[in-house]
Amino acid sequence: MNRDLIYLDNAATSWPKPEAVGRAMVACLEDEAGNPGRSGHRLSLAASRRVYAVREAVAQLFGAPDPLRVIFTHNATFAVNLALGGLLSPGDRVVCTGMEHNAVMRPLRDLEELGVEVVVAPCDATGRLDLEAFARVVAAGPTRMVALNHASNVTGTLCPVAEAAELAHRAGALVLVDAAQSAGSVPIDMAAMGIDLLAFTGHKGLLGPTGTGGLILGERVNAAEMRPLVQGGTGSRSAMERQPPDLPDRFEAGTINFVGIAGLGAGLEALADLGGPEAVGRWERELARQLWEGLSAIPGVRLFGTADFSQRVAVVSFTVEGRTVSEVGGRLDDEFGILTRVGLHCAPAAHRTIGTFPTGTVRLSPGPFNTPEQIERTIAAVRRIAEGA
């Protein structure tokens, strides 16, 4: 891979990965390739210890009540589906926001057809949740769950999770937070923020490989009332023909992605070496601010989201007057070696909210390894395209 490329698609997946991530995965395959939890020999035990160590690291990072309540999944999407499908039943009412990703909207629309009431609370044109309207919507009927997109993958706008969670809890609702875009860039404390279910992915801000993620169950969640999406072997309670009740086995049927989890553990260590989510988020926001200020000075460029960088993550969406988003993204790649994402970003609800549906935007998302020099080159490239060069 050409390291001269300017990679600004970290909202899709972080790149480059820390070298330790690949080394950990190779070492896992070469030295600890036993099946965790399935045998009593040394390789299986070594694998089990590594998995539990990563569970502990995840729990510590997010303020989880117990490492055993960290459920490993393939990604945040699977985690969201587990929370929604496991806890919602026909007749239940769920409230989400107008900035949700399809990881939330698609399973909700499917559940709606089965008799779950889905209500969308409005957000303003910057993607910010209207808390007064949200309070009215939540209080309008018995609400089983509230689903909140912590940080928009379209505008970067942060949801006021703690305030929304307090309102939800007053109404007796559980709070599910989709942290796909915030985990690793924003400090998250489940207890302090009132989060009952936290869905995270490992391959973005946590710097790990694809195929990793999880759902963390807070203390308010009764796991015994939550249905598994997948059932089968766990290595525990093998005499039972029903899924065991123990955590995390109840929700981790089949062999887990042990190699990926080893890589995730290395990603978490690399994140800590960079100063943790607070330091990484500060650096990424400074790069995004540089992008915002430079792009806003270019005639014909329109930016989306809030200009208050204390209320967003490092995602910058824009359009260029007279140019399709595909043209802009294609030219940035082909002519300047700048990698972006264009279109609807799997979040049509968010684009309807900010007024960019159905064409979408060009999205730039800096990561911890980008530099101010790369940002200046990107601004110059967009200027050339906007000027018709």
Q: What pLDDT digit, counting tens, does each position of 88-139 carry? A: 999 999 999 999 999 999 999 999 999 999 999 999 999 999 999 999 999 9
Could you identify the residue written with the tokens 């690399």? 270
Identify the pLDDT of residue 384: 96
Segment 169-211, tens digit of pLDDT: 999 999 999 999 999 999 999 999 999 999 999 999 999 999 9
Q: 250: part of which helix (H) or strand (E)?
A: none
Integer Cα distance of 150 and 164 in angstroms: 11
Distance CA 252, CA 248 (A): 6
Q: For the chain, percent helix, then strand, then coil, each to nearest 5?
A: 40, 15, 40
Q: In the predicted model, what is the mean pLDDT of residues 47-62?
A: 95
Residue 2: band (very low, low, confident or very high) from pLDDT cuts 50, 70, 90: low
Q: Is 198 exposed, middle or buried (0-12, 13-18, 19+ CB in 10 A)?
A: buried
Q: Which amino acid is at 28?
A: C
C-beta separation of 378 from 364 below 8 A: yes
Would you state the structure tokens that stand for residue 215, as one six-digit string? 């759902």
What integer is the mean pLDDT of 243-247? Answer: 89
Using only the alpha carbons of the chain, give its radius of gyration.
21
The answer, yes or no, to whether residue 241 has pLDDT greater than 90, is no
The strand pairing partners of 198, in sequence order, are: 177, 216
DSSP helix/strand/coil, 182: coil
* pLDDT for residue 243: 85
* Confidence at 244, pLDDT banded by 50, 70, 90: confident
The identity of residue 26, as a single letter, is: V
Between 248 and 32, the more confident residue is 248
Q: How far apart are CA 332 and CA 45, in angstroms?
A: 49
Q: Is the pLDDT of residue 1 over 60?
A: no
34-43, 46-55, 376-385: least confident range: 34-43
Q: What percent of the chain has pLDDT over 70?
A: 99
- Per domain, the residue ranges of the chain are 6-16+276-386, 19-273
Neighbours of 26 (CB within 10 A): 13
* Mean pLDDT for the stretch of residues 228-244: 83
Give me the amino acid identity at 110.
D
For the chain, what is the total number of helices (H) and then of strands (E)?
12, 13
Residue in 28, 123, 159, 346 annotated catalytic: 346
Q: What is the pLDDT of residue 176?
A: 98
CA 326: distance to chain centroid? Answer: 24
Q: Where are the beta strands (DSSP E) in 249-304?
A: 301-304
Q: Which amino acid is at 247?
A: L
Q: Would you list the DSSP string of 323-375? A: S-HHHHHHHHHHHH-EE-EEE-TT-HHHHHHHT-TTT-EEEEB--TT--HHHH
pLDDT for the residue 173: 98
172 burial level (CB within 10 Å; 0-12, 13-18, 19+): exposed
Instruction: Give this prediction's pTM.
Output: 0.96
Q: What is the pLDDT of residues 133-180, one digit of tens each?
A: 999 999 999 999 999 999 999 999 999 999 999 999 999 999 999 999
Whether residue 15 is predicted with pLDDT greater than 80 in this model: the reply is: yes
Which of 58, 80, 77, 78 shows the shortest CA–CA distance to 69? 58
**Residue 60: φ, ψ to 5°:** -65, -40
Distance CA 277, CA 265 (A): 15
At residue 39, the pLDDT reads 79
pLDDT recorded at residue 148: 98
Considering only CA atoms, which of 148, 186, 182, 188 is closest in space to residue 168? 148
Weakest mean pLDDT among 143-152, 206-215, 240-249, 349-358: 240-249
The average pLDDT across 291-299 equals 98
- 215 has a pLDDT exceeding 80: yes
Output the pLDDT for position 234. Answer: 78
Residues 6+ positions from 377 with CB-CB distance below 8 Å = 6, 336, 338
Which pLDDT tens digit goes with each residue over 22-42?
A: 999 999 999 887 888 777 888
**Alpha-carbon span 249 to 15, nearest angstrom:** 32
Q: Which CATH number among 3.40.50.12780, 3.40.640.10, 3.30.470.20, 3.40.50.2300 corresponds to the domain 19-273?
A: 3.40.640.10
Burial of residue 334 (CB within 10 Å: 0-12, 13-18, 19+) is exposed
**Mean pLDDT, all residues of the chain:** 95
Q: What is the mean pLDDT of residues 13-19?
A: 97
Of 17 and 41, the structure prediction assigns the larger pLDDT to: 17
Q: Angle, to 10 degrees, between the axis of helix 42-62 and the axis of helix 19-31?
A: 150
Q: For the structural domain made of 6-16+276-386, what CATH number should be given? A: 3.90.1150.10
* Contact indicator for 347, 101 with CB cutoff of 8 Å: yes
Span 260-273, pLDDT tens digits: 999 999 999 999 99
| Catalytic residue status for 28 | no
User: Confidence class of residue 389 from pLDDT cuts 50, 70 and 90?
Assistant: low
What's the rounded mean pLDDT across residues 336-347?
A: 97
| Burial class of residue 372 (count of CB atoms within 10 Å of its CB; 0-12, 13-18, 19+) | exposed
- Distance, in Å, from the CA atom of 146 to the CA atom of 285, rounded to the nearest integer, reads 28
User: Looking at per-residue confidence, does 389 or 283 come out higher?
Assistant: 283
